[in-house]
Amino acid sequence: MLEKLKQCEICPHRCGINRKEGKIGRCKASDKIKIALYWVHNFEEPCISGTKGSGTVFFSNCNLNCIFCQNYEISQKGRGKEITIEELADIFLKQQEKGVENINLVTPTSYVVQIIEAIKIARKNGLKLPIVYNTNGYENVDTIKMLDGYVDVYLPDLKYVDDELGEKCSKVKNYFEIATKAILEMQKQVGKTQINENGIMEKGIIVRHLVLPGHVENSKKVLRWLKENLNEENYVSIMAQYFPTYLVKEKEEYRDLNRKLTKEEWRNIENFIDELDFKNGYIQELGEHEEEYVPKWW
């Protein structure tokens, strides 16, 4: 499995570089695992965090370059520390000892092959919890297929239908085509959603969408695609937590995104969700202090 790092094509960038020789591609990840934090997270969707919290592991680096990333210190600037596969397996077990509901892998794409090996070790040593794959959605279908049998719950973003917006905000082309193919593979893989007696998702998919200021129509197109292509029992999660940060605050060219959502924009989205009549999902309330929920990194 680790041989795949010799010519890395794990994500859609397909850089082809030899990470085992220390080369780095678009995501800036080497062959070493790099994490920024592991902790008990109580602010995911209710069926993920439950009452005991989600055993979250935040991975450093990312294959997108989102200009508004709330976690830019780790995703774009690479803050974190290197650990071994064995140490990652041990972290999974330590999280389980805390009584969490699941193991939640945040921005894991660059480290898929190492994560699979860590899951194998952890399971041999008693890991029983569901594995949650928490991703930006920019994934290769072949990589998602590799995760069959290792991931129980997929938590992908679907950010953009408008590819020009994807190129502007995340520096990638063809985001919608690539992300939707990956999401359909995730849905095919996990099958029917399973919620246990405590309301925790043990199998399934939740597709997240963050509404951007000034781009309500993009969000409506995302929502319509989800309504038409997700199985009815699967979940959507519509988020209002956008706040201007990182390059949006630094560069004049992104001034149109340098604000929060208005009440009118959010009401427009709420009304559209009501029209589509999703069976399962979550919608945030429009808040004022979203910045406070960004973790404090190591």
Q: What's the pLDDT score for residue 208?
A: 98
Crossing angle of helices 216-229/263-276, nearest 10°?
20
Q: What's the pLDDT score for residue 223?
A: 98
CATH value at residue 179: 3.20.20.70
Type of residue found at 218: N
Q: What's the pLDDT score for residue 15?
A: 96
Unique residue bearing structure tokens 């995730």 = 186
- Counting Cβ atoms within 10 Å, is residue 271 exposed (0-12), middle (13-18) or buried (19+)? exposed
Q: Report the number of distinct structural domains present in the chain.
A: 1
In order of 58, 87, 110, 170, 246, the CA distances from 120 in angstroms are: 19, 13, 18, 33, 37
Is 298 a domain residue?
A: no
Is 48 a domain residue?
A: yes
Q: What's the pLDDT score for residue 297?
A: 58
Q: Domain range for residue 92?
A: 2-293
Q: What's the pLDDT score for residue 288?
A: 60
Is 235 a domain residue?
A: yes
Is 165 a domain residue?
A: yes
Is 160 a domain residue?
A: yes
Is 228 a domain residue?
A: yes
In the chain (298 residues long), the average pLDDT of successive 10-residue segments reads 92 96 93 96 96 98 97 95 98 98 98 98 98 98 98 98 97 97 97 95 98 98 98 96 95 95 97 96 81 62
Q: What's the pLDDT score for residue 58?
A: 98
Q: What's the pLDDT score for residue 292?
A: 56
